[in-house]
Structure formats: structure tokens, C-alpha cells
Structure 1
């Protein structure tokens, strides 16, 4: 069966153009004109991914994403935004969005980012509830008091569990799995966002910032180090 994608945008021209492009790529597409309709649709049926505009009436895209995550809905979310500022993008990512695409955008890039989200979702689908905690996972990754469980897609600093978005977890897992090695921007984008994704240093820096903040809030010392002009590395404190 084709992947089912919900496209939510209050601009009818944008909504229909994106829907047509996705349908031509073989997706099953459902559209919504505002945040309220989006929440109704997501609670009635399931989707492979959501493409949400930030600036929608009644309930905006950021609020929709926040409500879905609070409900335990982990459907991948690609956020569309006409706001170019980093704080505006950060709001969406903090709310639980997996990626963002600034307007105006090129359809090929939207398709590439959507493919990357769906590819990661297929490869890293969470196991059924009731399976063991991270420490029982044979593949658990450890550095200092940090534990990262790829099998359950959970991470802890000491006893505090980190509340990570899908992309944040993928980035942390990659860095911890390569502890001590400096990974350049291109390598990180290839492994986390997929080979079709473009390289945006500001986007990557934003995600690193979110990870650092969450680690700090959990009591961790500085683990993620910036190698200026090259990339990032995880090193034991």
C-alpha cells in the first residue's frame, strides 16, 4: 500500500500543489485547511507522515505538533514555515517536529525530505510496548553515565530519561556510536537525514543545541564538542 500523507496548509494553492506533487509520486494524500481539521483527521485515522504549515488559523502547526506528541503520536512531521528566523524554526522542533522546510521551497527538496523521514521511520520503528528497558538491550551504547538504546529508541543520563524527537535521537545515536571521532557535517546529514537531504549548517547546529540543552537539563556535563569548520564529536568528560 502507498504511504498515506496528510498535508495541512491554509493556503489552498500551496495545499493543492503539494498534494498533486505527492500524488504524482504515488502517495495517498489527505488534505486539511487548518489545525483543528488536522487534529480531527489524525485522531480518526493513521498516517505515514504529516506535512504541516506553521501559520494556520485556529490552531497553528506548532500547537498541532505539540498536541500530537503529548498524545503519544510519533508520526513523522515535516514542518513548512514562511518564518526564516532560527527562533521560529526552533519552536517547531521543540514541539516535536522531525524536520522543517522554509517557504518558498522547491518540490524536489520537499519530496527528498519526506522520503528521508519515511525511510528513518521504517528503519527505526519502535518495538512493541512491554519490551525491556534500555539496559536490557544488547546493543545499548554507553559513554560516561549516558545510555542510548537503539532497540527501544530511548536514552538516559544516569536515571533521567531524555525526551528526544526522532531526529534528535538519530543524531545522538550516531555521535555516541562514533564516540571520539569527529564527524563532518556531510557525514552527519547523510546518516541522519539521508543522502537526498541538502546540507544546512544552521539546521544541524540547531539540533546539536537542542541535544546539549536536554543533556544539561538531565545533569550531564559537556559531551558534544564542536570542531570548528569540521563537525561534531562526543567525548567522555
Structure 2
């Protein structure tokens, strides 16, 4: 950057070739524009990171409204639930397989919190479109019998999901449900959690746990 002392250029501003002439505090300056020596080529690490980001985003965007609730307690400073879920997935649910990012849905977190999950969680298929989830109804750690059961069924292929939140208490130990007709059980993942309500505050969840594929 150079300072102009010749009165010939003192009234000139703007771009001239690869130079920019501008005024600041009554003085005139000249700055040379930065130029690239060649076409920009992203590094392998940048290419991998971009691909991982896109893969995680495509998986989570269809359930953005669910993530808003599941991470509500931790959202602040402009960060939304999907941002927190993506950050977790990029660190814990994506693996580098010979330079290609591979997303493992069973490692994805759809809600976050420090309540305890119940032990013995299991998904059982009964008859067509009918299922049961069971768990051990015991209080341990921060778990309470008055906590509510919460479940997300999500098929990332069709991008359809079903959220089940019927006010079932932890102490019950099971829930029987039917799958919505517009959701294909083949390729659908089941995520479960428990949560607690506080008056005037965001619900407090346990971390979600994936029971795997429905079929």
C-alpha cells in the first residue's frame, strides 16, 4: 500500500488496472489487488471435509424440527439443533474409509442430555406394522419413574419419519405401537430417549440411543 503525495492523483478514486485508489481520513492511498498464481485447487482434506459435511446435512435436514426439540436446551448464540447434531455426527458418526466419508446412522444423536437411559432397551416385531419396545423400569442415576418415553422412527431413504411421544412413563417398561403407513420399515432406524419436563424451561433429555433398523 502506498500513500499519494502528487496532487495529480489526489482527486482520483476507484480501480485502475490491478490498482485500487481510495481515500481515508482525507489522504489518498494506492493498493495493489491480490492475484492468484493459478486456478484454486482444494486439498484432499478439504474435499473430504466438504463431502462429509454434505452427507451429514442430507441425512439430518429432513428431521430438523425434531432436532430443534431434542437439542433445545443447548441452543444459544444463533446455533440451532441441527447445528449441534451435525457437529456431533461429523465427530462421532462419520469414518474415513479410504478417503471417502462413511456415515453410520446408528451413531447419530437426535437428542442430547444428561438423564440416564433405561437398561434392557429392545425392539420387538409383533405382526405386520406392529412393534413393541421394552426396557427395565428401574430408577438409577438421574432416571426417575416419572420421566417420559420418546421415540423417533426415521427412514433416510424416503426422508419420512414418525415421532412417538404419547406420555408413556418410564415406570411402565414398554410401549406398543403401529408404524405409519407412509413409512417403509426397510431402511428405517429407531432412536429412543427419555425426557423430563420443567415448568417454563426446555425439556431435559437423555442422550438418544439407536435400536437399529426396523427390518
Instruction: Give the TM interval when normalised to the shorter protein.
Output: under 0.3
Taking structure 1 as the reference length, what is the TM-score of the superposition?
0.23
Structure with greater proportional helix content:
1
TM-score when normalising by structure 2? 0.25
| Larger relative strand fraction | 2
**Between Structure 1 and Structure 2, whose CA radius of gyration is higher?**
2
Larger relative contact order (Cα-Cα within 8 Å, sequence gap ≥ 6): 2
